[in-house]
Structure 1
Amino acid sequence: MDAVPIDAVPVDYVVNGLPLHALIVHVVVVLVPVVAVTVLLAACWPAARRWLGIIPPLGALALLGLVPLTTLAGQWLQARVGEAPLIQAHAALGVTLYPWVIALTAVAVLQWLWYRLLAPRTAPTARVLRRVVGAVLIVAALIVATGSIVTVVRIGESGSRAIWDGTFSDEPLRG
Structure 2
Amino acid sequence: MKFTKFPAARVFGVAGNRGSARLFRNVVPTQQKTYGTLSPQLQSLQPCFTSCNTSLALIAKSQLLSDTVQQRTLNLQQPQIRTVTKFSLKKGKRKTVKAVIRRFFRLSWGGWIRTRAGRFRHLWRKSEYQKYRYRQHIFCNATQCTLLDKMVTKYWKRRRYYVDDPYEPYHTREEFPYTRKKPLPPPPR
TM-score bracket, shorter-length normalisation: under 0.3
TM-score, normalised to structure 1, is 0.24
Richer in helix (by share): 1
* Structure of greater relative contact order (alpha carbons < 8 Å, 6+ residues apart): 1
In our comparison, the structure showing a higher alpha carbon Rg is: 2
